[in-house]
Chain A
Amino acid sequence: MTDAEASDDQELVDADRRKFLTAATSATAAVGVVFAASPFIASWQPSERARALGAPVTVDLSKLEVGQMITPMWRRQPIYIFRRPPELVAQLAAHDGRLKDPKSADSEQPAYAMNERRSRRDDIAVLIGVCTHLGCLPKQRFEPGDAQLGTDWPGGFLCPCHGSRFDLAGRVFSGSPASVNLRIPPYSFPDENTLIIGEDGTSTASGAA
Chain B
Amino acid sequence: MASNDAEYSPGFWGWLNKRLPVGKFMREQLLEYYAPKNFNIWYFFGSLALVVLVMQLFSGIFLTMFYKVGETTSFDSVEFIMREVNYGWLLRYLHSVGASAFFVVIYLHMYRALMYGSYKAPRELLWLFGMFIYLALMAEAFMGYVLPWGNMSYWAAQVIINIFGTIPVIGPGLVEWIRGDYGVADATLNRFFSLHVVAIPLVLLLLVALHLVALREVGSNNPDGIEIKAHRGADGKPLDGTPFHPYYTVKDIVGIGLFLTLFAVVVFFVPSFGNLFLEEANFEPANPLSTPEPIAPAWYFTPFYAILRAVPNQRLGALLLLIAVMAFFFLPWLDRSPVRSIRYRGWWFRGFLAAFTVSFGALMWLGLKPISPNYLTAARVFSVGYFAFFLLMPWYSRWDRVKPVPDRVRFHE
- Residues facing A in B83-97 (CB within 8 A) are 83-88, 90-91
Query: Which one of A44-52, A115-123, A131-139, A170-178 is at the interface?
Result: A44-52
Task: Note all chain B residues with C-beta closer than 8 A to A29.
Answer: 253
Q: Which of B31, B58, B85, B90 contacts A47 (CB 8 A)?
A: B85
Binary interface encoding of chain A residues 21-33 relative to chain B, with 1 for a CB under 8 A from any of its CBs, else 0: 0000100010000
Q: Are B87 and A49 in contact (CB under 8 A)?
A: no
Task: Note all chain A residues with C-beta closer than 8 A to B85.
Answer: 43, 47-48
Q: Give min CB distance, A31 to chain B, whole Å.
A: 13
Q: A1-B243, A25-B253 are in contact. Are A39 and B84 (CB under 8 A)?
A: no
Q: Are B87 and A42 in contact (CB under 8 A)?
A: yes
Could you tell me which A residues sit within 8 Å of B by CB distance? 1, 25, 29, 39-40, 42-45, 47-49
Binary interface encoding of chain B residues 241-255 relative to chain A, with 1 for a CB under 8 A from any of its CBs, else 0: 001001000000100
Q: A1-B31, A47-B80, A49-B80 are in contact. Are A39 and B87 (CB under 8 A)?
A: yes
Given contacts A43-B66, A43-B85, A45-B86, 8 further A-B contacts (CB under 8 A): A1-B31, A1-B246, A39-B86, A39-B91, A43-B65, A47-B85, A48-B84, A49-B84
B62 within 8 A of A: yes
- Chain B residue nearest to A46 (CB atoms) is B86
The 3 closest A-B CB pairs, nearest first, are A39-B87, A48-B84, A42-B86
Interface size on B, residues (CB 8 A): 17
Q: Are B62 and A40 in contact (CB under 8 A)?
A: yes
Cα of A92 to Cα of B84 in the assembled complex, Å: 46
Q: Give min CB distance, B294 to chain A, whole Å.
A: 35
Q: Are B83 and A43 in contact (CB under 8 A)?
A: no
- Chain B residue nearest to A29 (CB atoms) is B253
Residue from A1, A25, A43, A45 whose CB has the most chain B CB atoms within 10 Å = A43
Q: Give min CB distance, B62 to chain A, whole Å.
A: 6
Task: Note all chain B residues with C-beta closer than 8 A to A25.
Answer: 253
Cα of A40 to Cα of B84 in the assembled complex, Å: 14
Task: Note all chain A residues with C-beta closer than 8 A to B91.
Answer: 39-40, 43
- Chain B residue nearest to A49 (CB atoms) is B84
Cα of A132 to Cα of B86 in the assembled complex, Å: 30
